[in-house]
């Protein structure tokens, strides 16, 4: 009985850890990318982030290659709220605005990519950008804070996307992009299975302001099973 008891506790704690990470990712997605952000479709057309729809195929960066990814859902959106953004400009004249804890890809000293909060970006930090269909490294030359109206938080299969041709994560308010991407696997599996079954919008078509219903659902699950999981630091 004791082994069964410990196995049940292990499974419970593992599932709760998944719920917690997904909850943190979704429920703190508020803000993210400013409404004037452009994303790039696989046909190279750039569209406003607010025009993204489930199933849209986008461009992102994987290692040293430009690859495609797919829009799964809009985690959060608000067309009218005024939000404080960090706006960064690179030497290549790329520019993007994100909320303070949203992760952006930076090339570290050993050449690897680290996704860190934009508030921690400093002058001279190197970002990955796209120019004329090629990946380049470009240093940050200006950082400023400004208030803009509207924000959007899309989630893609890869957990990344190009915003104004700059490499960025879909996640915010988390310490490790890769760990969160791993724990989001169940959502990706469900999405992929649904698409194979010709379900066009597995998570519904979110067209109104506010956090996606999945965030609310996960909140209710955590609240009933383990309320203390909702006390984030």
Tell me the per-residue pLDDT of 52-93, one tens digit each, with 9 for 90 and over.
Answer: 999 999 999 998 899 999 999 888 888 888 889 999 999 999
The domain limits of the chain are 27-215
Which secondary-structure segment (H or E) carries 222? helix 213-225
Cβ pair 87, 96 in contact under 8 A: yes
Please give the model's pTM, rounded to 2 decimal places: 0.80
Higher-pLDDT residue of 59, 196: 59
Q: 124 φ, ψ to 5°?
A: 95, -15
Q: State which CATH number among 3.30.420.130, 2.60.40.1260, 3.40.50.2300, 2.170.16.10 fits the domain covering 27-215.
A: 2.170.16.10
Instruction: Return all residues near 187 (Cβ < 8 A) that are at least 6 apart.
Output: 22, 72, 155, 214
Cβ pair 128, 104 in contact under 8 A: no
Cβ pair 76, 210 in contact under 8 A: yes
- Does 175 have pLDDT greater than 50? yes
Question: In this prediction, what percent of the chain has a pLDDT beyond 90?
Answer: 52
The pLDDT of residue 113 is: 94
Compute the Cα dihedral for 153, 154, 159, 164 and give only its sign.
negative
């Amino acid at each position: 009985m004791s082994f069964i008891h410990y196995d049940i506790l292990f499974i419970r704690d593992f599932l709760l850890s998944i719920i917690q990470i997904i909850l943190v990712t979704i429920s703190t997605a508020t803000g993210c990318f400013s409404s004037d952000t452009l994303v790039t479709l696989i046909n190279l057309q750039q569209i406003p982030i607010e025009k993204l729809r489930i199933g849209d195929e986008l461009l992102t960066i994987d290692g040293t290659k430009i690859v495609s990814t797919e829009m799964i859902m809009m985690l959060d959106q608000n067309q009218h709220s005024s939000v404080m953004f960090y706006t960064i400009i690179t030497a290549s004249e790329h520019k993007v605005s994100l909320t303070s804890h949203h992760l952006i890809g930076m090339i570290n000293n050993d050449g690897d990519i680290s996704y860190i909060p934009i508030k921690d970006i400093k002058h001279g930090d190197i970002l990955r950008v796209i120019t004329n269909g090629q990946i380049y490294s470009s240093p940050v030359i200006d950082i400023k804070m400004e208030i803009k109206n509207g924000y959007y938080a899309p989630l893609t299969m890869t957990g990344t996307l190009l915003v104004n041709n700059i490499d960025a994560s879909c996640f915010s308010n988390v310490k490790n992009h890769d760990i969160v991407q791993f724990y989001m696997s169940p959502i990706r599996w469900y999405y992929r299975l649904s698409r194979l079954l010709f379900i066009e919008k597995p998570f519904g078509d979110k067209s109104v302001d506010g956090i996606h219903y999945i965030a609310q659902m996960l909140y209710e699950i955590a609240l009933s099973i383990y309320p203390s999981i909702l006390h984030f630091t």
